[in-house]
A and B are shown apart, each in its own frame.
Chain A
Amino acid sequence: MQRTMRCLIFTGLALLLAVPAIATDTIKIGFNIPMTGDIPKVGESSKLSAEMLKADINGNGGLEVGGKKYMLDFVYEDNEAKAESAVTTALKLIERDQVLAMIGPNSSKQAVPAGQVADDNHTVMVSPWSTNPDTTFDRPWVFRAAFLDPFQGPVAVNFAVKQFNAKTAAVLYDLSNDYSKGLAEIFRDVFEKKMGAKTVLAFESHGTKDQDFSAQLTKIISTNPDFIFLPDNYNQVALIVKQAHQQGYKGQFMGSDAWGSSELMTLCGDDCKGLYFSTHYAAAGATGATKTFIDRYTKKYGYVPDDVAALTWDATRIVLKAIQDTNGLTGKLKKDRKAIRKAMSNIPSFKGITGDMSFDEQGDPVKCAVVVRISDKGEFEFTESICPQ
């Protein structure tokens, strides 16, 4: 009995040692995404988009790096949309799965803490969707595919002032969400600088798990603002907009990129029609490579890809481009990760489906934002494109 056990253990150990030797011809990339929790649709979009890219490249015999073909191996790990899980997931991917680079986490709430882990462990991380400056700030190993909130905030302010002819605003945000809180504060500062002090009439917050917003809305509506800025996740947007209408609010809302999930309209329905939000790309009326991507995704999965899907596509392709730019992998994890980081910062300009981008010294892309209107058919219609000066 004891001998069989020992025998088994040795065979097991031998197999474990043998695995890296077999796996040299694959490139392993980790995905740190929310497949359950508050924003499961975001994780699903990321995964489906990555699967499509993987099928494309592996179908063509793999990715060519320095004259050698590698098959792609994508590891998807669920971070449950929680900050603490994103950290353990990042460690798991970096240490146990030994990935070459990590895509995700998507929202800033998880990307800010996970970025620290990636930076400490010298592994390239590209967040597709995070817009909070802290994600990449002073972290040479962390990059992103999305624009930043200090850019998105002014976009929202300028658009709302012009479109709604607004002189006053109110803000409702999620206190426990880095993304929402950061963007709300940037918006308030920019708006008051532009329109004068005390023009943001109400600045109210709520918790992530809240379902009733009536008290905050009563307070906001009683100040009679020209519009309400709502930098919130799509699930809360649905509840907040409905409840505001139930309290008799008939004014406009301005949203941010966290609205742009394909699930927004199934949850919100008619209440959200006619509202505007700033985002990374507009699916309705896209052209060129963006349109090809949208058509293929829609055909394969049965719904129009949201911005997370498009950004994940771009983020993953940037990493693959950087891997190709290393001109050959050594098979030594530390050395390869370092080579990829170097190649990442040397990419001069990247033609993504969410627009052309180049990275600045912080690892942030310089790219345009679009403002979309939710049409009467529930589609996200392109209204205006705003680029950095």
Chain B
Amino acid sequence: MLESFLQNLINALQWGSFYALIALGYTLVYGVLTLINFAHGDIFMVGAYIAFFAASFALTTLGLSGWAALALTIPITMILTAMVGVTLERIAYRPLRRKGANRLYVVITALMCGLILEHSNLAILGASRKAFPTLIDLKIYHIGGVTITNLNIAVILVTSLVFIMLHKIVTKTRVGMAMRAISYDKFAVPLMGIPLDNIIVITFILGSGLAGLAGLMFAMSYPVLEPYMGALIGWKAFIAAVVGGIGDIRGAFLGGFLLGAVEIMVVAFFPSTLRDLIAFTVLLVILTLRPTGLFGIAKTTKI
């Protein structure tokens, strides 16, 4: 019993890591722009595909070894995915912001951007799935009755490191201070000489870069890629961000792990047919008790 609990704890940490990484992207953009970037799950999908092409290129065309290919794939994936996010901001969100459109229209635009990403992928690459190449050899460790792989450990560690770094950036640096300032007052901040657009671009670079990293690690852990892979996990990560208190980085991190843990533990101790029913009831109860999420602060206008 204890063994299977510990095993499920590791399962939950691994699965929650992906929710946490994606939720961090949602919450960053929301915190700065109060925009729910519904395209984020699909940016994650694009990240996984970019990682696929980068890894295949490094392995076969350049003929690198697994570790070297990985070292090359990480920056390429993060940079290219960040560029996708920034492009979306440039061509879709910024013109709307300039025209002073209601936030509702921006959210709808984000949803549409997500669908465009999915379907352009379908149109360009076709519907058949891609198998992600093996970059590093999987090592399986047995500790007590618990099995853990080197990939599990890497995913959990990287997610935690990313969270700490992001937290430092937002709370300790000037850029972070500017981000927080924009979230307080979008109109007064440019008057103080803070370049609004640049800060927003930096936010999108951070958020989408993380989605790229999540895409890469996801593809390594679950090596079957398809155009719709980002939709469901993206929505669930959004729920995680809301439960944690959207706009707060600690909230997104904890919310992600909480959702992962609830999903895994429900399967572990109840019939698996009831998973989504019980998991989302739990989240609903949390939101009923704390409508602003675990770390959220009540604001008068929210979507």
Task: Report if A266-B131 is in contact (Cβ < 8 Å); known contacts: A214-B14, A214-B264, A248-B140.
Answer: yes
Partner of B233, one of A211, A216, A235, A247: A211
Q: Residue of B at shortest CB range from A34?
A: B127
Given A235-B129, A248-B142, 12 other A-B residues pairs in contact with their CB atoms under 8 A: A38-B226, A41-B128, A205-B273, A212-B11, A215-B8, A218-B4, A222-B4, A242-B223, A246-B140, A248-B140, A266-B131, A267-B224
* Residue of A212, A238, A267 contacting most chain B CB atoms (<10 Å): A212
Interface of B is mostly: helix
Neighbouring B residues of A204 by C-beta, 8 Å: 267, 272
Interface status of B116 (Cβ within 8 A of chain A) = no
Query: How far does the Cβ of B61 sit from chain A's closest Cβ, in whole Å?
Result: 19
Contact A207 B276 (CB under 8 A): yes
**Chain A residue contacts of B267, Cβ below 8 A:** 204, 215-216, 219
Instruction: Report yes or no: A206 in contact with B272, Cβ–Cβ below 8 A.
Output: yes
Please report the number of residue pairs spanning A and B whose Cβ atoms sit closer than 8 angstroms. Answer: 87
What is the interface size of chain B, counting residues whose CB is below 8 A from a CB of the partner? 39
B122 within 8 Å of A by Cβ? Answer: yes
Given that A211-B229, A235-B224, A246-B147 are known contacts, is A219 also in contact with B131, CB under 8 Å in the complex?
A: no
Return the contact of B122 from the options A36, A207, A247 (Cβ within 8 A): A36
As a 0/1 sequence over residues 177 to 216 of chain A, the CB contacts with chain B under 8 angstroms (1 = contact) are 0000000000000000000000000001111010110111
Count A-side interface residues using an 8 Å CB cutoff: 32
* Contact B147–A247 (Cβ < 8 Å): yes
Interface residue B64 (Cβ < 8 Å from any Cβ of A): no
Residue B165 lies at the interface, judged by CB distance under 8 Å to chain A = no
Does B268 lie within 8 Å of A263, measured CB to CB? no
Given A40-B127, A205-B272, residue A239 in contact with residue B224 (CB < 8 A): yes
State whether the Cβ of A66 lies closer than 8 Å to any Cβ in chain B.
no
In whole Å, how far is B285's beta carbon from the nearest beta carbon of chain A?
21
Per-position contact with A for B231-263: 1 when CB-CB < 8 Å, else 0?
111000000000000000000000000000001
Given contacts A209-B232, A211-B229, whether A246 and B138 have CB atoms under 8 Å apart is yes
Contact (Cβ within 8 A) A219 B127? no
* Residue in B126, B222, B276 whose beta carbon sits within 8 Å of that of A212 in the complex: B222
Q: Is A175 an interface residue (CB 8 A)?
A: yes
Interface assignment of B7: CB less than 8 Å from any CB of chain A: yes
| A239 near B4: Cβ-Cβ < 8 Å | no
**Minimal Cβ-Cβ distance residue in B for A39:** B127
Q: How far is the CA of A240 from the CA of B11 in the complex (A)?
A: 14
Alpha-carbon distance between A175 and B277 when the two chains are bound, in angstroms: 13
Q: Which residues of A contact B147 (CB under 8 A)?
A: 246-248
Asked if B15 is at the interface of the complex by the 8 Å CB criterion, the answer is: yes
Interface flag for A282 (CB, 8 Å): no
Q: Is the CB of A211 within 8 A of B222?
A: yes
Residues of B within 8 A of A215 (CB): 8, 11-12, 263-265, 267-268, 272
CB distance from B171 to the nearest CB of A (A): 32
B3 contacts the other chain (CB 8 A): yes
| Bound Cα distance from A235 to B129, whole angstroms | 8
Identify the closest chain A residue to B263 (Cβ): A215
| B9-53, CB < 8 A from A | 11-12, 14-15
Interchain Cβ contacts under 8 Å between A and B, 11 examples: A35-B127, A36-B122, A44-B128, A175-B273, A205-B273, A211-B218, A212-B14, A212-B15, A218-B4, A247-B147, A263-B128
* A331 at interface by CB-CB < 8 Å: no
Say if the beta carbon of B149 comes within 8 Å of chain A.
Answer: yes
Is A20 engaged at the interface, CB distance under 8 Å to the other chain?
Answer: no
Chain A residues with Cβ below 8 Å from B122 are: 36
A214–B3 Cα distance when bound, in Å, is: 14
**Identity of the chain A residue whose Cβ is nearest the Cβ of B260 in the assembled complex:** A212
Any B CB within 8 A of the CB of A251: no
**B11 contacts which chain A residues (CB < 8 A)?**
212, 214-215, 218
Q: Does A61 contact B (CB under 8 A)?
A: no
The 10 closest A-B pairs by CB, nearest first: A40-B127, A215-B267, A214-B11, A248-B147, A36-B127, A215-B264, A204-B272, A211-B222, A209-B232, A267-B131
Interface presence of A269 (CB below 8 A): yes
Select which of B128, B140, B151, B224 is within 8 A of A40 by beta carbon.
B128
The reply to whether the CB of A37 lies closer than 8 angstroms to some CB of chain B is yes
The answer to whether A267 touches B129 (Cβ under 8 A) is yes
Q: How far is the CA of A233 from the CA of B226 in the complex (A)?
A: 14
Q: How far is the CB of A201 from chain B (nearest CB, A)?
A: 14
